Structure 1
């Protein structure tokens, strides 16, 4: 007897490869995502990483110039008078710089021992503020001169030399180092004004009719951070000049971090 024949087992059909569907929308989405990442990286570079690098470079250039001045034979000290046990020097008048000409360094112990930024003539972004650091207004008096020594600097980007201007505290030293020596000013107060408030640059700030008898310093920067809506202004008064022959002044000593800030004192 023949066995009953069984039908052959059905063979499974191989799966067909699925075709990925690439659409214009998906490609555009990926491109936008990539562009967003690039923009975020650029913003991070501009606001943080680039600032750190440029700021360090600015401080290094300032320190290099300070070292060059220190290695030169010291100039003859200016005339001095004796006030008790203290010798007081008449601050020498520096020649006025041309646009973008470096003539001094700014040293502010509150901003760190390494803070040392060039000061140049003029306040244009392309020639001074972006490339050098701190600029002197055209109508400004010179360091130590009776009237208002007025300066501008960035609070964000390009090394942001005035980023911590709002952290200054009463009597903080603002030291202007030059080839002749050090001009020390002492911080007094902060003010917020509109960008059009040019009277902060007067010889007696905001007092157009007052005769200039004292020596002031005025630092200006944009406020708030990342905005052009206002200006933050820091004022100071002249304290003393120390000739290079006597070495760095005591005003460059590290500061007391426990002292109240200008913001807290208002």
Structure 2
């Protein structure tokens, strides 16, 4: 038998290497696909279930007369992390857009819904009512925040009142990136380290607030990003008592 040439041996090695590489790429592809299914579908199903539970629990709490985020409840203990505290409605994202806001912005809390930054203002208070939420996976509550334009309403519902905020920016053109006289835009993109955007006066440490603001924070990209998309809105008018029916923005 003729000994195999070096070229033949290298050819066999090449085929084995190519086969191994192909199998590795196939395995990686399957893993990525399974992760995508988990991230988008499975976490969405679980979030929908948890939102339903939170809605029932919050409704029962309201029926008992308790309101964890009432403007006059500042002397009460902070609600438990992960518990439902209010509802957020954004008509521009659909007449059926409603999510339960939970207390806290821990990883576990945000898997259940948008989370109220502990220590930030309550709805309707002077200061900054700040809420974080996922853009990709876990129900993607803030997936479409980039579609909001200047003047769009964001409605926070508590046990007794609706609080209507409107996205800042140039209402004449709808451009939310235009800054107001105090330098605050309706939408901006910042580095993830910029926690100052949820201060009582956004991006101005130490200043005393005079406005009733709302800030929403989420990822700039849907699944991985080092930047954050920020939406700033300001409350218009007084709280709307629920006893008077739905506010105009929700009709």
> Shared topology, TM-score over 0.5?
yes
Whether contact under 8 Å (2:102, 2:114) holds in the other structure is yes
Distance 1:206 1:224 in 2: 22
Instruction: Tell me the matched-pair count.
Output: 213
- 1:129 lines up with 2:126 in the alignment: no
Q: Deviations over 1:171-192 (max 9, x none)?
A: 1111111112211111111011
Q: Deviations over 1:191-225 (max 9, x none)?
A: 11111212211111122354311100000112222
Q: 1:171 aligns with which of 151, 160, 165?
A: 151
Q: Deviations over 1:91-124 (max 9, x none)?
A: 8434542322211111111222222211122110
Match of 2:141 in 1: 161
Q: Deviations over 1:27-69 (max 9, x none)?
A: 8678646634532431331343335534644664566568658
Moved more, 176-185 or 41-50: 41-50
Whether contact under 8 Å (1:59, 1:116) holds in the other structure is no
Distance 2:49 2:94 in 1: 15
Whether contact under 8 Å (1:59, 1:115) holds in the other structure is no
Q: Residue 68 and residue 181 in structure 1: after superposition, are their counterparts in 2 closer, same or farther (change >3 A)? A: farther
Match of 2:89 in 1: 107
SS at the partner of 2:200? coil
Give the structure, 1 or 2, with the largest relative contact order (CA under 8 Å, sep 6 or more): 1
Distance 1:244 1:74 in 2: 14
Q: Residue 30 and residue 214 in structure 1: after superposition, are their counterparts in 2 closer, same or farther (change >3 A)? A: closer
SS at the partner of 1:119? strand
For 1:14-163, list aligned pairs within 5 A: 32=24, 35-36=27-28, 38-50=30-42, 52-54=44-46, 56-57=48-49, 60-61=52-53, 64=56, 72=63, 92-94=71-73, 95=76, 96-126=78-108, 128-130=109-111, 132-163=112-143
State the TM-score, normalizing by the size of structure 1.
Answer: 0.68
Match of 2:195 in 1: 198
Match of 1:224 in 2: 221
SS at the partner of 2:124? coil
Distance 1:206 1:117 in 2: 27
Flag the structure with higher helix content.
Answer: 2
Cα RMSD between the aligned structures?
3.0
Stretches of structure 2 lacking an aligned partner (at least 5 in a row): 1-14, 169-185
Q: Residue 150 and residue 100 in structure 1: after superposition, are their counterparts in 2 closer, same or farther (change >3 A)? A: same
SS at the partner of 2:196? helix
Largest Rg, 1 or 2? 1
Flag the structure with higher strand content.
Answer: 1
Whether contact under 8 Å (1:63, 1:116) holds in the other structure is no
Match of 1:251 in 2: 249
